[in-house]
Amino acid sequence: MPHQPDSNVFLPIGSAEWWLLVSTARLHLADHRLAELERLLRQEIDWDKVVPASIYHGTAGLLLKHLLSIPAKKDIPAAVIDRLQSFYLRMTAMGMKQLAQFQEVAEALNQAGVELITLKGAVLAETLYGDLGLRPLSDVDVIARESDWQEICNVLAKLNYKSLADELKPLPPKLTRYDVKTHVQFVSPAGTYLEFQFDLFTVGIGMRDMAGVWDRSRWVEIGGVGRRVLGAEDQLLHLLVHANRHGCSRLKWIVDINEYLNENQDLDWNLFASIAQREKVISFVFQTLVYIEQLFDTPLISHEVLEQLRPNSFQQALWRAVWPRRQLYHFRGRDEDAICYYFYKPFSGWNLINFALAGRVRDKIGYQARWIVPSFDWMAQVYQQPKSLGLIKYYPLRLMERSRSRSQKKQKN
């Protein structure tokens, strides 16, 4: 679910509070890092800044874990421990509730012959962190096949789920083969959230090989329940692109990547690189890996693998201009800009940057052309008019619809 940050959660880079937030944003602390943490806590810490920041970044449970591991806790106010413990217990209970409600949906869909791939926190909280309180869940994200959507709607309606935006209805017609609904969010009667996606990246244009993502997915047992999850290489790729899509603005997404790499040393890097190359996300992958290594002062992958993923010099320079490293260290990367392709904004300057960083220019220009001048088949579905009307009816309707949409946006602003 969207989370609007308060300005107080952004700590000054290099301050004791910032170091405390970053240094505890990991599952395990080596002895030398634990000693560094003890030295850090001897300084004057503004806990009224640290605790809200850790809650926003989803690392409050990790902060609590490491503070409790310190033998001498006299420098930590009891009120701080109590507040963190209260939040940890609340997140644990929320995670259990989210997963219990999701399991009900998953079982009903499985009986209806619908497969899902479970994403992000709903998988990592149990398989990687081993503790729901250490990896908060605001919702459960899944990938579904577009062809299963009607059956999904039927099941959700029976379970009294409500859409956060639209009524349960068919997906809109596709402008091109890469047209994909980014996500659809629902709320259960119990107040838990479920988000359906149809593409691994949701960056404005569909993947070239979603069929391969499904083929590489696998069944695992999580908490005694079988779930389909992404293949190891796709999982890492999804985490990297997702973090960038949101400007690397929350630490928990960065921790996910760091810990996933620590626990998965046997990845097929040739397969990983080939997928990233085919989908044209090499720039995002390389820069994020370098950023995380520098932020946590920890090598993640070998130099040989990193060189295999390195984009050209122009793309590296452009990336640094769009996302200055200091901006990323402040967790204020640009949200979605240049990562996402805005097919509905054909003349946006960010699209040009996206073309340079991500490529697939021919696919995207074709997408833009179809959005501006859709096919008769598409407009026949949207406007429910016979195709024989052709230019006489459809394109005036399209122009009127776009004009009305612009007017509505101006009124909202």
Side chain identity, residue 400: M
Res. 1 pLDDT band, cuts 50 70 90? very low
**186 φ, ψ (degrees, to nearest 5):** -135, 155
pLDDT at position 114 is 95
Q: Note whether 13 and 57 are within 8 A (CB).
A: no
Whether residue 80 has pLDDT greater than 80: yes
In the chain, pLDDT over 90 holds for what percent of residues? 65
pLDDT, the chain, mean: 89
pLDDT at position 393 is 64
pLDDT at position 154 is 94
Model confidence pLDDT, tens digit, residues 289-337: 999 999 998 888 999 999 999 999 999 999 999 989 899 999 988 878 8
Hey, what long-range contacts does 206-212 have (CB within 8 A, 24 or more apart)? Answer: 206/177, 206/178, 206/179, 206/180, 207/279, 208/178, 208/278, 208/279, 209/275, 209/278, 209/279, 212/275
Q: Note whether 137 and 95 are within 8 A (CB).
A: yes
355-367 burial string, b = 16+ CB within 10 Å, else e?
bbbbbbeebbebb
pLDDT at position 2 is 42
What is the DSSP pairing of strand 140-143 with strand 117-118?
A: antiparallel
**Residue 127: strand, helix, or coil:** helix
Whether residue 271 has pLDDT greater than 90: yes
Distance CA 366, CA 370 (A): 6
CA atoms within 13 A on the CB side of 245: 19
**Residue 222: strand, helix, or coil:** strand
| Residue from 105, 196, 97 nearest 155 by CA | 105
Distance CA 163, CA 156 (A): 9
Whether residue 207 has pLDDT greater than 60: yes
pLDDT at position 212 is 96
Over residues 376-404, mean pLDDT: 68
Res. 394 pLDDT band, cuts 50 70 90? low
CA atoms within 13 A on the CB side of 86: 7
Which residues lie across from 96 on neighbouring strands? none
pTM score over 0.85: yes
Over residues 232-246, mean pLDDT: 94
Residues 6+ apart with CB under 8 A from 99: 122, 132, 137, 140, 223
Measured from the Cβ of residue 276, the count of other Cβ atoms closer than 10 Å reads 22
Over residues 12-28, mean pLDDT: 94
Model confidence pLDDT, tens digit, residues 37-51: 988 898 899 999 999
232-244 burial string, b = 16+ CB within 10 Å, else e?
bbbbbbbbbbbbb
**What domains, with CATH codes, occur in the chain?**
1-76 (no CATH), 93-230 (3.30.460.40), 232-370 (no CATH), 373-412 (no CATH)
Residue 200 token pair? 């691994």
Q: Note whether 249 and 335 are within 8 A (CB).
A: yes
Alpha helices, H only, 171-279: 210-216, 232-245, 251-263, 269-278
Q: Assign residue 130 a region (left: φ > 0; alpha: ψ between -120 and 50; beta: otherwise).
A: left
Whether residue 27 has pLDDT greater than 80: yes
Whether residue 161 has pLDDT greater than 50: yes
Token pair 């988000």: residue: 195
Whether residue 140 has pLDDT greater than 70: yes
Q: Which residue has the higher pLDDT, 116 or 74?
A: 116
Over residues 219-233, mean pLDDT: 87
Residue 251 token pair? 């630490």
Residue 365 token pair? 């220009």
Order the strands of the 117-118 sheet from edge to edge.
Answer: 162-163, 184-187, 193-197, 140-143, 117-118, 225-229, 218-222
pLDDT at position 344 is 83
Q: Which residue has the higher pLDDT, 241 or 374?
A: 241
pLDDT at position 377 is 79
pLDDT at position 390 is 55
**Residue 131: strand, helix, or coil:** coil
Model confidence pLDDT, tens digit, residues 165-186: 767 788 888 999 999 988 899 9
Q: Note whether 286 and 269 are within 8 A (CB).
A: no
